Amino acid sequence: MHQPHRDEEYADEAHYGDSSTYVSPPTRTRRRMFIAAASLLAVLVGGVAVDRIAAARAESRTAEAFQDGMGTAERPSVHVSGFPVLSQLAAGSLDHVDLTAHDIPADGTTRPLR
């Protein structure tokens, strides 16, 4: 007769009907695939999180530089669009930046307003 492995458990007949059925735990291959999928998901989520942090940092530094350069009293609102921002930063230019500022001083020719 068949000898069950240590990993196999026989299900109780009261729960599953007339015949005995054994239930085995997940195989090592299934566990490895689960671990690989969870690891891949963690890397992807981590990459997106790092990209969003880089976007927030770029927005903050751009707003600060604009405020210092233009002499505005209020810090402007800056939004960097596009994904991934990290590759744009590595290339040295951002594809699309929305900047909203109020009360920009424009004193003659020394401070041209573009």
* Highest mean pLDDT (candidates 4-8, 39-43, 103-107, 108-112): 39-43
pLDDT at 42: 97
Mean of the per-residue pLDDT values of the chain: 81
As a whole number of Å, the end-to-end CA separation of the chain is 88
Quick check: 20 pLDDT over 70? no
Percentage, residues of the chain above pLDDT 70? 70
pLDDT at 28: 84
Give yes or no for residue 19 having a pLDDT over 70: no
Q: For the segment 56-90, what is each residue's pLDDT rounded down to a tens digit? A: 999 999 999 999 988 888 899 999 988 899 999 99
DSSP per residue over 30-64, as a string?
HHHHHHHHHHHHHHHHHHHHHHHHHHHHHHHHHHH
**pLDDT at res. 102:** 83
Q: Look at residue 16 and give its three-state secondary structure.
A: helix
Side-chain half-sphere CA neighbours of 4 within 13 A: 12
Question: Which pLDDT does position 111 carry in this prediction?
Answer: 58
